[in-house]
């Protein structure tokens, strides 16, 4: 069965790729569902306040009216979820249940109504005035949620929220007009109405009720606040995505037809981190099967819950992402999260379906975190490239109204032209790269990573992009190591001498960084001291300033805060360093484990097994001209 599966599946994929030249403005099914639910919640809010307006002194009649409205809310919830399910979207898991929504909206509306009625004198003019104010508040509550629903359904058309702001202002103006008219009429009859509140307080209460509904329908309450595994059985998943190069029939799998899984965690803000895991790469029988220089499976051992250092430390008060929602996209396909191809290599076929897996995580994210205020896209090593390329549909179609910051950690893209021309096509990248973007429409074999980053950054000028690396990025899995592999294809004995091209790699990396920064005003680079591969999981991100650089956390914060101090950074003295992981002085300098205190370890920068070797001279010195 496996022998024929790749051919049949490739034919199916050819039919499912969408031939768009730009993103579709049609609402994603979850967004349509959420919009309907917001509208239904707005009608329910209006009904509750209307019941108070008509039956302030008759609790039986009021409760009956609210119960009737709640039945309509339940029906609308069910209808919306059923409609979404027909398009393979689980909108029930996206939002609070209708029962929970009913409780929260009813409580907020009842409290608002009670505030308006507090201190009523029993005078007919006073009672009538307050009833009209409650009725005005009902229209406001419904108007606010109707506006929010329209916005969610049309994010691509209303990216900057202009239409939403206008609709909200219109609803508020109507309320103010009705409120002032009711108060003036009561005053004309010698009654001060209401005596214990004012229009701004009622408007604020209605806005708060609306905001609670928005949160409960756009940030799923059904996601755990601890890292949770999303396991995916082998099989097809229909994904109703509508954007350039969208794969609408996904087959999530690891490289050898083992099940895929990824990890998620809910935070306390409406911000989202999309992190793409690293783990090598492979492109032929030698790299994929004989040597296996990539992570071929996804399992519980990949869980970020097992990491508590660097930006993975959710307890560090200096971690800018500690309160964010997070999706951890695992990696097991050897194609830097870009692939849509089957490699029929010697020693066994490899499923380079990284883009399928990334799309599945993307699908899950947009169905649980519908409209984040901010999205931070990043990844380490191979995941650095996954972050850059997969950020495009996220920015363009999934979250078009969100602010984005995109950083590649330990993946600058120094690639030999020969390797790129020979092996890139093996991953099916031509079927997944966003070649509707100017600069990415040139032949795959000759489009450099610098040109790719420039094209993407210039296509999304309102967002920010960056790369982080150390100056020498060494070791068996580092950037200089993979550059050595590219320089010596088919010669694994040479691959072990990862340090040999260090200076050449360093020179090309710096030239590429400067090229991108010059051509894209919203791009910066950070080149830190030493040879450590990737920085995201290191405690030094909070402390290290070796070589005259700012701490990485400060630089990242400057990026996200649009600070003028977010500039290109390069170490002046790039000598090797050693820093503590954990312990009493996390991130601080060290010589031995004992320098780091209880539970800490001294993390030395990688060096060759014997020194001197190539540019590594010993004593922390790397001699590159």
Residue 540 is assigned to a structural domain of this protein: no
| pLDDT of amino acid 122 | 75
Residue 366 is assigned to a structural domain of this protein: yes
Q: In the structure encoding, which two tokens stand for residue 126, read together?
A: 């006073």
Q: Verify that 248 and 283 share a domain, yes or no.
A: yes
Q: Which of 397, 432, 447 is the last residue of a domain?
A: 447
**What DSSP designation does 129 have?**
H
Q: Verify that 275 and 321 share a domain, yes or no.
A: yes
pTM higher than 0.85 for the full model? Answer: yes
Which residue from 174, 187, 214 is spatially nearest to 41, judged by alpha carbons?
214
Q: Verify that 126 and 263 share a domain, yes or no.
A: no
Q: Verify that 77 and 200 share a domain, yes or no.
A: yes
Residue 373 is assigned to a structural domain of this protein: yes
Q: Verify that 165 and 93 share a domain, yes or no.
A: yes
Q: Verify that 50 and 112 share a domain, yes or no.
A: yes
Q: Which of 393, 425, 447 is the last residue of a domain?
A: 447
Residue 329 is assigned to a structural domain of this protein: yes
| pLDDT of amino acid 22 | 60
273 Cα distance to chain centroid? 4
Which letter, b or e, does each residue of 420-457 get, where b requires 16 or more Cβ atoms within 10 Å of its Cβ?
A: beebbebbbbebbbbbbbebbeeeeeebbbbbbbbbbb
Q: Which of 155, 184, 218 is the last residue of a domain?
A: 218
Torsion angle, alpha carbons of 334, 340, 344, 349, to 10: 50
Q: Verify that 60 and 192 share a domain, yes or no.
A: yes
Backbone angles phi and psi of 49, in degrees to 5: -65, -35
Write out pLDDT tens, residues 519-531. Answer: 999 999 999 999 9
CA distance 491 to 342: 24
Q: Verify that 292 and 196 share a domain, yes or no.
A: no
How many CA atoms does the CB half-sphere of 225 hold within 13 Å? 7
Q: Between helices 199-218 and 29-54, what is the axis angle to 10°?
A: 150
Which stretches of 372-501 are DSSP H helices?
382-393, 417-423, 449-459, 479-487, 492-495
Which residue from 619, 550, 553 is spatially nearest to 591, judged by alpha carbons?
619
Write out pLDDT tens, residues 388-431. Answer: 999 999 999 999 999 999 999 999 999 999 999 999 999 999 99
Percent of the chain surpassing pLDDT 90: 87
Q: Verify that 291 and 188 share a domain, yes or no.
A: no
Q: Verify that 385 and 293 share a domain, yes or no.
A: yes
Q: Verify that 320 and 404 share a domain, yes or no.
A: yes
Residue 278 is assigned to a structural domain of this protein: yes
Which stretches of 243-303 are DSSP H helices?
285
Residue 453 is assigned to a structural domain of this protein: no
Which residue segment(s) compose the domain that 75 sits in?
A: 29-218
| pLDDT of amino acid 476 | 87
CA distance 478 to 181: 71
| pLDDT of amino acid 116 | 86
CA distance 156 to 397: 7
Q: Verify that 201 and 260 share a domain, yes or no.
A: no
Residue 442 is assigned to a structural domain of this protein: yes
Residue 48 is assigned to a structural domain of this protein: yes
* Domains of the chain: total: 2
Decide if pLDDT at 279 tops 70: yes
pLDDT band at 348 (very low <50, low <70, confident <90, very high): very high
């Amino acid at each position: 069965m496996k022998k024929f599966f790749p051919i049949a599946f490739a034919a199916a994929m050819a039919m499912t790729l969408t031939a768009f030249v730009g993103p579709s403005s049609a609402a994603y099914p979850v967004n349509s569902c959420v919009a309907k639910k917001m509208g239904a919640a707005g009608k329910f809010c209006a009904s509750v306040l209307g019941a108070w307006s008509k039956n302030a002194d008759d609790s039986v009649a009021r409760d009956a009216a609210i119960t009737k409205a709640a039945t309509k809310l339940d029906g609308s919830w069910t209808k919306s979820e059923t409609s979404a399910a027909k398009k393979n979207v689980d909108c029930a898991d996206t939002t609070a249940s209708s029962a929970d929504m009913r409780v929260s909206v009813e409580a907020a509306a009842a409290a608002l109504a009670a505030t308006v009625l507090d201190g009523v004198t029993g005078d007919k003019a006073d009672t009538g005035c307050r009833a009209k104010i409650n009725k005005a508040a009902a229209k406001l509550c419904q108007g606010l949620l109707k506006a929010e629903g329209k916005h969610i359904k049309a994010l691509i058309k209303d990216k900057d929220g202009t239409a939403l702001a206008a609709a909200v202002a219109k609803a508020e103006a109507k309320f103010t007009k009705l409120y002032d008219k009711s108060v003036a009429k009561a005053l004309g009859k010698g009654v001060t109405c209401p005596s214990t509140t004012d229009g701004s307080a009622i408007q604020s209460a209605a806005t708060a009720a609306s905001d609670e509904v928005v949160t409960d329908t756009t940030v799923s309450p059904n996601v755990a606040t601890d890292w949770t595994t999303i396991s995916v059985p082998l099989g097809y998943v229909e994904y109703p995505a509508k954007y350039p190069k969208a794969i609408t029939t996904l087959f999530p799998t690891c490289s050898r037809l083992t099940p895929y899984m990824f990890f998620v965690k809910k935070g306390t803000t409406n911000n989202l981190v999309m992190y793409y895991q690293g783990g090598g790469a492979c492109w032929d029988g030698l790299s994929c099967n004989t040597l296996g220089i990539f992570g071929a499976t996804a399992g519980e051992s990949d869980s970020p819950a097992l990491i508590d250092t660097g930006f993975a430390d959710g307890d560090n008060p200096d971690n800018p992402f500690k309160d964010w929602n997070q999706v951890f996209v695992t990696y097991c396909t050897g194609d830097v999260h870009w692939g849509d191809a089957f490699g029929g290599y010697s020693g066994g076929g490899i499923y380079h379906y990284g883009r399928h897996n990334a799309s599945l995580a993307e699908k899950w994210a947009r169905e649980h975190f519908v409209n984040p205020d901010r999205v931070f896209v990043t990844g380490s090593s191979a995941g650095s490239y996954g972050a850059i390329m997969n950020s495009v549909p996220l920015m363009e179609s999934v979250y078009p109204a969100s602010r984005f910051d995109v950083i590649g950690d330990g993946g600058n893209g120094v690639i030999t032209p020969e390797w790129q021309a020979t092996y890139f096509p093996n991953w099916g990248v031509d079927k997944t790269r966003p070649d509707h973007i100017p600069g990415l429409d040139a032949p795959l074999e000759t489009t450099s990573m610098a040109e790719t980053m420039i094209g993407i950054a210039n296509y999304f000028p309102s967002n920010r992009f960056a790369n982080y690396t150390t100056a020498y990025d060494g070791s068996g899995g580092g950037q200089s190591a993979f550059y050595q592999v590219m320089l010596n294809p088919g010669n694994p004995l040479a691959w072990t001498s990862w340090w040999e091209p260090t200076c050449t790699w360093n020179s090309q990396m710096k030239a590429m960084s400067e090229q991108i920064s010059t051509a894209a005003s919203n791009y910066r680079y950070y080149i830190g001291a030493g040879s450590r591969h990737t920085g995201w999981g290191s405690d030094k991100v909070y402390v290290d300033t070796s070589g005259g650089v700012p701490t990485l956390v400060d630089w990242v914060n400057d990026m996200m805060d649009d600070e003028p101090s977010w500039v290109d950074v390069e170490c002046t003295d790039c000598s090797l360093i050693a820093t503590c992981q954990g312990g009493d002085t996390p991130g601080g300098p060290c010589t031995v484990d004992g320098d780091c205190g209880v539970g800490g370890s001294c993390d030395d920068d990688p060096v060759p097994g014997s020194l001197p070797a190539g540019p590594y001279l010993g004593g922390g010195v790397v001699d590159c001209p």
